[in-house]
Structure 1
Amino acid sequence: MDAAIHTEHVTKVFGGVVIAVNDLSLTVPKGAVFGFLGPNGAGKTTTLRLLLGLHRPSAGRAFVFGRPCGIDAADVRGMIGLLPTNPKFPSHLKPFEYLNLVGKLHRIPAEVRMPRIAALIRAVGLLSVTDQRIGTLSTGETTRLGIAASLLADPPLLVWDEPTAGLDPAARRFALDLIQELRQDRTIVVATHILADIDRVCDHVGVMHEGRMIFCGTMQEMKRRLGHDGITLELSGSRDALRMAAEALAERCPSEHRWLGENVVSLVVEEGRSRAVALAAVLQLLHNVGVDLQAIQSGHGDTESAYLNLLQEDMSHGFARFQDSPRPTHADCGGATV
């Protein structure tokens, strides 16, 4: 099985009443950076805990690098470097002490463990706080420590749950840049609801909603569901010139458009139309009213639009999901009717 993660009809029901994961079939290719998207409560964290063997599935099977996941699958957990949401570590320990403890639990020999910890502390930018207790670290510093812990045993699969939650811009950029570096020889799963993070680092994506996987594929496949391509223009000019630009576009724009701010407009070019021709016509209109082009970006917002479309489609087809679900046979029920 040439996949880092593979699940077959995994379902998890808590207490016989709460359906956290519903008939989940998922494949994450080896070497992918897989964005795990979904609103809060969609089932992302429960799915990750099932892969780690922290929950037992109510039905279905899950595999990591072809090995079955489960409560007793210590070999599977050893292949996964986990960064949980808002990680909590022993507050009385210092970063080196905590990483040394993690290394011992992984049974990494001291001659390998010590230099590796020192290198990781430097790599994640914690040298200046090595003498501080973990309880005194900032949110960003605690996340960096969690990243170091997830990398200590050099696992082939990284599972990072909301790695940029609560981070300032510098810490968020560090986490995303690190994912770009680590993707060379690992598979990485990034569970998040921050679409900009997915757009920046991921090549594959899965979207969960109400416990179900409603889309799984490449980023390009998800964006192609929109049926159009988008272009965002950042403009400069006087207030009067921008007002005239809005009026001109409203009257004569050859493409659908909407304003995202006073000086930012998004164009939607229908599939099959020439983007170059449509853009040239719009730029000529803007030039005629004295507005200059400051910046242009292609595809801005496509991930958000595709994601929202997927959620809307799923909410509008609730009963169809039931019709497509597995059905019992008489053999399953022992031939009896109840």
Structure 2
Amino acid sequence: MEQPALDPQLDEEIANIRKEIAALKTRRSILTSTLLSSSAIQSRITKHITPPTSRKTCRKNSKSHPLLPLLRSQTTHNATNIYRTLTSTTAFKVLDPDPHAVDSGRVLGIRIDIFDRDRFVQPYYVLLNCPWPASQDLRVHRHTVPAFVGLQKLATRWLPVPKEQGQGQGRAEEEAGDADTSTTAPLALQTNVRAQSLPRFVKTLRAELVHHHKRVTAIERLQEELKSTKSSLNQSRQTSESGFSVAAINMLDTTGRELELQFTDGALGRVKVGKKGEIEGAVVRPPNAGDDTSKQGLGKRKADIERRIIGLDGGGRIEGLLERMMA
């Protein structure tokens, strides 16, 4: 039996219809969420479901009203978002199913929520346990924090190991497996161990994560701004007259601490970004400066552009980089 011939035009129409359906579903979800979040709409729906004159007689019918599950779901969603926005960190208790886990499997979990670009990013989790029977001090057991944040350093500072527990560290580290066991230091280094501070640990860790997301977001917006600026200049054909010479902005690492600027004339710049988004330093070399291996050639730099990047007062940030370059 012969298969029907494929019609590319028909396939394209079907694909477009599917895209339109997906877009309409998304719009419907947004509109539903917006309407159900309004206190006025919620009040009207509640009055419609249970009118004052017949509240008792309509109680059974109101439970099966199609709008009621949507209203409850949206109310719960709104409350969750408000909680995550205001608290930003949540502590919870879990039980390790491993029968050989320390402290009878009791684990304290910390959830860190970060709001970035009009949405909540994937939460970060830190699990802590207490491997020392004679102490209530905690140790990092598992976590989902990226390595470049430096959780080990923060744990060493704010969750130091009690010095009297030096003999039991080997077994505890063995139990932790691939966890962040380096938070436990040798007994010889624990002569002046201070008390642990879990609130300071969580607060500092969240601050590091927030700084990271803000840096990356600022760089991404800078790249979007560069693309938009180049497009508008190309349309008006004013690229050469405006003196704008930045061709590309690249992030050299996942932390957003180092940037590479490529210029239209072939010059190359390196920018060092501080933890909070401030620009700490910049080096811009002219085209083919790397080909000249002499001392004079390696020392060639574009000081005027470097000053623009850093800022005349030395307080430049990522956010205003393109504005300073076009000034």
Does the pair score TM above 0.5?
Answer: no
TM-score w.r.t. length of structure 1: 0.29
Greater relative CO (CA pairs within 8 A, separation 6+): 1
Q: Quick check: which has more Rg, 1 or 2?
A: 2
Q: TM-score, normalised by structure 2?
A: 0.30
Q: Which has the higher helix share?
A: 2
